[in-house]
């Protein structure tokens, strides 16, 4: 027992009047205080009042005094003594005796903070939803074993995994309580939710729980339905933002209390407190929605891989496409590739052809440069005879970028952003800041405009004129369609908003391939292939007449991968090229951005690993300057290290941030490990 604890006990024994007395057993509480300052990223010790001895349990939420302010925190553990030499304060209040922070999630949060150079407080804000008092009080203590048969309904499903050579052995390993890890290339079609549900059922058969993470609510609805059909009612919960705070917290508590052992949800579900975790699943792992936009900016793929490693559970990471990061997991031996044979792929994939093949160029010389070449029109007309046709357009809106009709000079805002036309009669506005922009060209003064990038709304108008007599349906932005019927129709959708067609689309046209392939990002080809494959997977197999036209150069590796339906080879090629250039995931990189003076101050105290490379400075990522004034322009440095030194780099950056925060230096510096956009 520490000196101050003995003094408090002695005061109690001598009869002196005290306001609070420490608990007789384990009187010291170690608390993770909700403070994001890097130099305070450690637990602090507090005394547990005797009145809170029973309610102050590890994992509960508490209120404490910190620097004179009342703030929240999580009680990590109870101890008999403390190493702190000064006087300890008492816990102010136990918010709820509910142990919402499990030891597994606490350890995972600490590991994620260390990997990304962040603080534990920031990660816990992502992991633990805000408490809802009414939901927390309801059925308190209704913990226990899940109800019903863990494998209920599993035998009624078609054995979809038999289509993959290693599929049956993967399910058998899950059912036997083992922990296989697979990078999964799903077959085209809409069977992937049922395949995930069957994998979850196999893990449940061994008495273990599962966490399933998908990009958005539309995918979650599909997985939710498949889990209900396979596991039976009441066997899982789905976490989504549209539920509202009370219902979302109630469902989250159901997992924390052990009432359910299967949780499906979007990005935040990667921290779901599932007991006896046996399987983590990530669908469409290349979707940028899996990247957390809040500090410390973790990616769901990396968090779930780290969680699978720490919990020694199985992992299923996949989608129709495959990223270089997934290929790296295979190359390192952490996971194995799980994909169908070429013969089976050909049975389920649609026929894909580019718009600019030599035979087509001989027939239509404009096929290489036309936005809607003849082959696309002919394919769409033929497909409309038997069902709906999907047109995928990369950009929303009407005209996403315009230029002068006479001199072709691009129209831009004073901030540097591109001018866009929201509608046929609407005024020009900036695509970055939203300011109004005049129509007069800055170079020649002409007021006429020509389209540089055509959006989905304008495309729908053009297709309505090209395919008279057929309904034109739009999906994108705030108006997203979930499903369309099997009747002939023209469906115009942006990437990620493609509705599911009853019986599959008869055909699809993937427009403006140059707009995606030409993005100034390291992941342009990878993202283009992912968008195309997600859309083409909605089309009927080639044996049923399904056909896809991609308006892009057929010589591009991404286009060739789409034609062959071979995402694995494309991902291996991406990984090899990045390894040669020493780009992620072959190496680890950190982006350090902020005002010039603040970044310089951080770099002065930064102790880099031995093999680190400092690249820069560069302009800010969006090309816009920060607040006016010397030394306050927004700049960016990149720090590159071998993969083996990634954690050392993250810890060094956090230590440098701690020096700045302790000294209360001005200027916010953003540190992001493995950012999605490097260039």
Give residue 412's pLDDT. 86
- Distance in angstroms (rounded) separating the CA atoms of residues 237 and 102: 18
> CA distances (Å), 183 to each of 65, 200, 336, 548, in order?
47, 16, 6, 26
Instruction: Please give the CATH number for the structural domain made up of 154-344.
Output: 3.40.50.300
Q: What is the 8-class DSSP label of residue 131?
A: P
Domain boundaries, the chain: 3-97, 154-344, 349-577, 587-673
Give residue 14's pLDDT. 43
Residue pLDDT, tens place only, 11-52: 444 444 456 899 999 999 999 999 999 999 999 999 999 999
Res. 621: pLDDT tops 90: no
Neighbours of 245 (CB within 10 A): 14
Find the helix or strand (DSSP H, E) in which 492 lies: strand 490-493
Residue pLDDT, tens place only, 433-474: 888 888 888 888 888 877 666 778 888 888 999 999 999 999
Structure tokens at 224: 């939710």
DSSP for 237-283, written as a single string: EEE-GGG-HHHHHHHHHHHHTTS-SEEEESGGGGG---TTEEEEEEE
Average pLDDT over residues 312-316: 98
Residue pLDDT, tens place only, 218-256: 999 999 999 999 999 999 999 988 888 999 999 999 999
137 exposure class (CB count in 10 Å sphere: 0-12, 13-18, 19+): exposed
More confident residue, 663 or 417: 663
Q: Which is it for the CA torsion 481, 483, 488, 491, positive or negative?
A: positive
Alpha helices in 300-410 (DSSP H): 300-311, 324-331, 342-348, 358-363, 374-384
Q: Is residue 349 within 8 Å of residue 562, measured between CB atoms?
A: no
* Integer Rg of the chain from CA: 28
- Distance in angstroms (rounded) separating the CA atoms of residues 289 and 285: 9
pLDDT confidence bin for 623, thresholds 50/70/90:
very low
Neighbours of 468 (CB within 10 A): 6
- Distance in angstroms (rounded) separating the CA atoms of residues 541 and 526: 23
Q: Is 623 helix (H, G, I), strand (E, B) or coil?
A: coil
| Fold match, 154-344 / 587-673 | no
> With pLDDT > 90 as the criterion, what percentage of the chain qualifies?
72
**How far out from the chain centre does Cα 591 lie?**
19
> CA distances (Å), 157 to each of 151, 226, 232, 348, in order?
11, 10, 12, 19
Q: Is residue 258 within 8 Å of residue 147, measured between CB atoms?
A: no
Q: Is residue 330 within 8 Å of residue 183, measured between CB atoms?
A: yes
Instruction: Please give the CATH number for the structural domain made up of 587-673.
Output: 3.30.70
**Lowest-pLDDT range of 279-283, 346-350, 384-388, 411-415:** 411-415
Give residue 444's pLDDT. 87
Residue pLDDT, tens place only, 485-494: 999 999 999 9
- Distance in angstroms (rounded) separating the CA atoms of residues 419 and 438: 9
> CA distances (Å), 399 to each of 356, 395, 441, 462, 584, in order?
25, 9, 17, 12, 34
- Distance in angstroms (rounded) separating the CA atoms of residues 528 and 518: 10
Res. 9: pLDDT tops 60: no
Tell the residue number behind the tokens 């074993």, with chain if given: 145
Could you tell me which residues are beta bridge partners of residue 66? 69
Give residue 144's pLDDT. 37
Mention every residue, 6+ apart, whose C-beta is less than 8 A from residue 119: 35, 36, 37, 38, 41, 113, 295, 296, 654
Strand boundaries in 140-208, DSSP class E: 181-185
Structure tokens at 437: 């922009």
Q: Is 500 helix (H, G, I), strand (E, B) or coil?
A: strand
**How far out from the chain centre does Cα 419 lie?**
29
Residue pLDDT, tens place only, 282-302: 999 999 999 999 999 999 999
pLDDT confidence bin for 516, thresholds 50/70/90:
confident
Average pLDDT over residues 144-155: 39
Structure tokens at 285: 């792992």
Residue pLDDT, tens place only, 94-146: 999 999 999 999 999 999 999 999 999 999 999 999 988 887 776 544 333 33
Give residue 143's pLDDT. 38
pLDDT confidence bin for 431, thresholds 50/70/90:
confident
pTM comes to 0.89
Res. 430: pLDDT tops 50: yes
77 exposure class (CB count in 10 Å sphere: 0-12, 13-18, 19+): middle
Give residue 142's pLDDT. 38
Structure tokens at 126: 């992502």
Q: Cα-flanking dihedrals φ and ψ of residue 356, to 5°?
A: -110, 35
In terms of average pLDDT, the best of 126-140, 173-187, 389-403 is 173-187
> With pLDDT > 70 as the criterion, what percentage of the chain qualifies?
89
DSSP-based helix, strand, coil % in the chain, nearest 5: 35, 20, 40
Q: What is the 8-class DSSP label of residue 629?
A: S
Res. 581: pLDDT tops 70: yes
Q: Are strands 613-619 and 634-642 parallel, antiparallel or unpaired?
A: antiparallel
Q: Is residue 604 within 8 Å of residue 637, measured between CB atoms?
A: no
């Amino acid at each position: 027992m520490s000196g101050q604890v003995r003094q408090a006990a002695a005061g109690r024994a001598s009869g002196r009047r005290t306001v609070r007395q420490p608990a007789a057993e384990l009187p010291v509480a170690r608390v993770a205080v909700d403070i994001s300052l890097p130099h305070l990223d450690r637990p602090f010790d507090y005394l547990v009042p005797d009145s809170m001895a029973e309610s102050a349990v590890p994992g509960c939420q508490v209120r404490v005094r910190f620097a004179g302010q009342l703030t929240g925190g999580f009680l990590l553990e109870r101890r008999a003594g403390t190493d702190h030499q000064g006087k300890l304060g008492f816990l102010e209040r136990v918010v709820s005796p509910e142990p919402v922070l499990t030891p597994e999630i606490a350890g995972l949060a600490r590991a994620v903070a260390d990997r990304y150079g962040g603080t534990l407080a920031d990660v816990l804000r992502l992991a633990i939803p805000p408490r809802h008092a009414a939901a927390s009080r309801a059925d308190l203590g209704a913990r226990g074993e899940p109800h019903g048969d863990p494998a209920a309904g599993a035998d009624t499903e078609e054995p979809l995994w038999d289509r993959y050579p290693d599929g049956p052995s993967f399910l058998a390993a899950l059912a036997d309580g083992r922990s296989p890890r697979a990078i999964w290339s799903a077959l085209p079609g809409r069977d992937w939710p049922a395949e995930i549900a069957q994998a979850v059922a196999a893990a449940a058969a061994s008495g273990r729980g599962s966490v399933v993470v998908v990009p958005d609510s539309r995918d979650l609805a599909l997985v939710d339905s498949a889990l209900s059909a396979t596991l039976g009612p009441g066997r899982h919960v789905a976490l989504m933002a549209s539920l509202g705070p009370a219902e979302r917290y109630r469902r989250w508590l159901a997992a924390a209390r052990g009432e359910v052992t299967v949780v499906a949800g979007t990005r935040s579900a990667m921290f779901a407190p599932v007991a006896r975790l046996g399987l983590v699943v990530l669908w469409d792992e290349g979707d940028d929605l899996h990247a957390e936009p809040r500090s410390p900016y973790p990616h769901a793929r990396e968090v779930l891989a780290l969680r699978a490693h720490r919990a020694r559970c199985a992992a299923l990471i996949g989608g129709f496409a495959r990223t270089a990061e997934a290929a790296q997991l295979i190359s390192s031996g952490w996971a194995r590739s799980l994909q169908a044979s070429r013969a089976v792929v050909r049975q389920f994939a649609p026929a894909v052809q580019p718009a600019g093949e030599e035979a087509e160029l001989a027939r239509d010389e404009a096929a290489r440069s036309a936005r809607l070449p003849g082959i696309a029109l002919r394919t769409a007309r033929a497909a409309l005879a038997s069902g709906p046709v999907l047109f995928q357009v990369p950009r929303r809106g009407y005209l996403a970028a315009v230029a002068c009709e006479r001199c072709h000079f691009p129209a831009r805002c004073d901030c540097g952003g591109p001018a866009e036309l929201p509608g046929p009669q609407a005024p020009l506005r900036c695509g970055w800041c939203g300011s109004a922009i005049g129509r007069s060209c800055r170079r020649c003064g002409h007021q006429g405009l020509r389209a540089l990038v055509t959006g989905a709304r304008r495309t729908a108008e053009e297709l309505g004129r090209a395919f008279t007599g057929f309904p034109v349906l739009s999906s994108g932005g705030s108006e997203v369609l979930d499903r369309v019927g099997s009747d002939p129709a023209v469906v115009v959708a942006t990437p990620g908003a493609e509705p599911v067609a009853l019986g599959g689309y008869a055909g699809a046209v993937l427009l403006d391939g140059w707009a995606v392939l030409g993005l100034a990002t390291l992941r342009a080809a990878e993202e283009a292939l992912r968008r195309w494959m997600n859309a083409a997977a909605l089309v009927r197999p080639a044996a049923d007449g399904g056909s896809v036209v991609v308006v892009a150069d057929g010589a591009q590796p991404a286009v060739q991968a789409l034609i062959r339906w071979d995402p694995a080879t494309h991902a291996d090629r991406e990984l090899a090229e990045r390894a040669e250039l020493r780009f992620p995931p072959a190496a680890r990189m950190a982006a350090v951005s902020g005002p010039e003076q603040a970044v310089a101050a951080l770099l002065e105290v930064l102790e880099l690993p031995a093999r680190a490379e400092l690249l820069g400075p560069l302009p800010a990522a969006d090309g816009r300057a920060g607040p006016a004034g010397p030394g306050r322009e927004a700049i960016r440095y990149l720090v590159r290290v071998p993969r083996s030194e990634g954690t050392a780099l993250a810890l060094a950056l956090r230590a440098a941030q701690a020096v700045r925060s302790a000294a209360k230096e001005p200027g916010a510096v953003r540190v992001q490990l493995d950012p999605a956009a490097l260039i």
